[in-house]
Amino acid sequence: MNFSANLGFLFTDLSLPDGIRAAKAAGFSAVECHFPYDTRPADIMTALTETGLPMLGLNTHPGNRDAGEFGLSAMPGRGADARAEIDRACDYAVATGTRMVHVMAGRTDGGPDADQAFVDTLSYATERAATNGLDILIEPINHRDVPGYHLSRVEQAVDLIDRIGAPNLKIMFDCYHVQIMQGDLIQRFRTHQHMIGHVQIAAVPDRGEPDQGELSYHHIIPALRDLGYTAPIGAEYKPRGTDTDAGLGWLSAYSG
Ligand SMILES: O=C(O)C(=O)[C@@H](O)CO
Ligand SMILES: [Mg+2]
């Protein structure tokens, strides 16, 4: 089994380059991150080259989180800021050999102006990313953790992809968010698999290691593999203890 360490939540006591090294030592086959922008791309590249791990994905900058922003792309009137962040994310992805950029929607009133803003920004993002051979991801995020997040349901992402019609626009299928908002994970994955670019996991409801709670990953992960999904699965959980390594017992259960 192939897993990617999400360095937005794992090994956060380390710098990103050292997090990459720790992920390698722990047995992950890839890494992904949230917001790497304070780290020089060259330092990321050094650690990736040294470990041989690929960086799978990164997020556009969320904006001013102190002011409640969690992405800008669906916010009416913020198109120029959103496009600048997409440019920055694509440049960073190119500099680090990263293939997927998650374009964060942000919180909106869910109205037609926000829908139109998101479509316009995603059209820009897919064209911009295509010039570098990158994929754009959009992620349904649950409303308990992020009230008002513009994109919260898988079928809403499917509609956007149909509407925009860009082959490099795909869904980040985060089992944690999908379970909280909708459930029926395996059937939903099967129905939309051709549009899914990346999968992430965490326990529900505590978002801890994927070995407790209401989702049985020992059933879900083999089911995804049986459906032909062979890419690394993103371990995007918040360790229950302070030490990421101490909680990695779940990973060894999948080895061999
Ligand atoms: O919150 C999530 O889930 C993510 O995947 C992040 O990329 C958003 O920060
Ligand atoms: Mg996620």
- CA 119 distance to own-chain centroid: 19
Which tens digit of pLDDT belongs to each residue from 39-48? 999 999 999 9
Q: Residue 133: its pLDDT value, please?
A: 98
Is the C-beta atom of 32 inside 6 A of ligand 1? no
Is the C-beta atom of 61 inside 6 A of ligand 1? no
- CA 22 distance to own-chain centroid: 20
Residue 67 pLDDT exceeds 90: yes
Mean pLDDT of the chain: 97
ipTM score here?
0.95
Residue ID of nearest Cα to ligand 1 atom 1: 141
Which tens digit of pLDDT belongs to each residue from 104-147? 999 999 999 999 999 999 999 999 999 999 999 999 999 999 99
Which tens digit of pLDDT belongs to each residue from 16-41? 999 999 999 999 999 999 999 999 99
Residue 256 pLDDT exceeds 80: no
Residue 253 pLDDT exceeds 90: no
Residue 1 pLDDT exceeds 90: no
- Determine contact, residues 177/151, Cβ cutoff 8 Å: no
Q: Residue 187: its pLDDT value, please?
A: 98
- Write the DSSP string, the chain: --EEEETTTSSTTS-HHHHHHHHHHHT-SEEE-S--TTS-HHHHHHHHHHHT--B-EEE-----GGGT-SB-TTSTT-HHHHHHHHHHHHHHHHHHT--EEE--B-B---SHHHHHHHHHHHHHHHHHHHTTT-EEEE----TTTSTTBS---HHHHHHHHHHH--TTEEEEEEHHHHHHHT--HHHHHHHHGGGEEEEEE--TTT---TTSSS--HHHHHHHHHHTT--SPEEE----SSS-TGGGTHHHHTT--
Domains of the chain as residue ranges with CATH:
3-254 (3.20.20.150)
- Which of 139, 171, 172 most suits a substitution to test ligand 1, by most atoms within 8 Å of the C-beta? 139
- Which of 37, 73, 102, 149 most suits a substitution to test ligand 1, by most atoms within 8 Å of the C-beta? 102
Q: Residue 255: its pLDDT value, please?
A: 79
Is the C-beta atom of 59 inside 6 A of ligand 1? yes
Q: Residue 212: its pLDDT value, please?
A: 96
Average pLDDT for 187-197: 98
212/109 Cα distance (integer angstroms)? 34
* Residue 236 annotated as catalytic: yes
